[in-house]
């Protein structure tokens, strides 16, 4: 029996790109044979041989806004924007522990992240810039702030300018506040609805053809809001 394909929430689509919300639990691409991915689901809804370009990824347990190119030229333009860090990204996370800053205060994290081939976890190594050595630690930057606190959990907003593997997960865990549901990085709390309590809430790009700035947004899962109502009241 073939696995059921998830419904996709499409935020915008034209001849050049599609912006949509990836559900938690669905890999972006390169899933094992027989396992659906965002790429394979989109591919199944396109004419045979139609181009699809994955220009950025979210970890399988992470939900949120993703943009996919529909032409090679759009893929090149979008990939360049991600590479040049002109894309604006904002994430929401529910974390345990005590966030290392006062409520509402933005903090800047400049780290370097290392991940050995075959290892599941990434590690914070040093704060020095090591981008010249592609095989070594890579610099990782994000801005973060606590939006609300409620008991042992907090709602955190994050704005990464880099996109290292597991970046936000390891940056939060290394500061004593792992993302809810992220057992790999030390969380003891389950995520409502499964996956991780990390959501790509907003993505802003320049349209690859006409250059207009486009912003795509998606709210956090209803299950989070039901289980942690104090974190989302008034939002």
Residue numbers annotated as active site? 59
Residues 186 and 95 sit within 8 Å (Cβ to Cβ): no
DSSP string for residues in 141-174: EEEEEEEEEETTEEEEEEEESS--TTHHHHHHHT
Residues in the chain: 235
Taking the C-alpha atoms of residue 121 and residue 213, their distance in angstroms, rounded to an integer, is 35
Instruction: Tabulate helix, strand, coil % of the chain (nearest 5).
Output: 15, 30, 50
* Pair of tokens at residue 101: 């800053």
C-alpha to C-alpha distance for 137 and 125, rounded to whole angstroms:
7
Dihedrals φ, ψ of 76, to 5°?
A: -65, -45
The string of DSSP codes covering 6-62 is: PP-EEEEE-SSEEEEEEPTT--SS-PPTT---HHHHHHHTS-TT---EE-----TT-
């Amino acid at each position: 029996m073939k696995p059921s394909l998830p419904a996709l929430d499409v935020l915008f689509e034209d001849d050049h790109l599609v912006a949509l919300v990836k559900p938690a639990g669905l890999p972006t691409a390169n899933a094992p044979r027989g396992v659906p991915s965002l790429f394979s689901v989109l591919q199944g809804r396109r004419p045979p041989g139609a181009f699809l370009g994955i220009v950025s990824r979210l970890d399988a347990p992470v939900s949120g806004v993703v943009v996919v190119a529909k032409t090679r030229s759009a893929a090149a333009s979008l990939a360049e924007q991600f590479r040049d860090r002109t894309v604006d990204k904002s994430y929401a996370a529910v974390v345990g522990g005590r966030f290392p800053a006062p409520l509402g205060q933005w903090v800047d994290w400049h780290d370097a992240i290392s991940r050995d081939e075959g290892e599941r976890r990434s590690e914070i190594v040093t704060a020095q810039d090591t981008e010249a050595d592609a095989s070594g630690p890579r610099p990782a930057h994000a801005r973060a702030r606590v939006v609300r606190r409620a008991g042992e959990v907090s709602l955190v907003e994050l704005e990464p300018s880099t996109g290292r593997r597991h970046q936000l997960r390891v940056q939060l865990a290394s500061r004593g506040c792992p993302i809810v549901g992220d057992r790999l990085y030390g969380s003891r709390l389950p995520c409502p609805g499964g996956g991780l309590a990390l959501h790509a809430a907003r993505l802003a790009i320049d349209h690859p053809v006409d250059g207009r700035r486009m912003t795509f947004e998606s709210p956090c899962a209803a299950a989070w809001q039901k289980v942690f109502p104090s974190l989302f009241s008034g939002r």
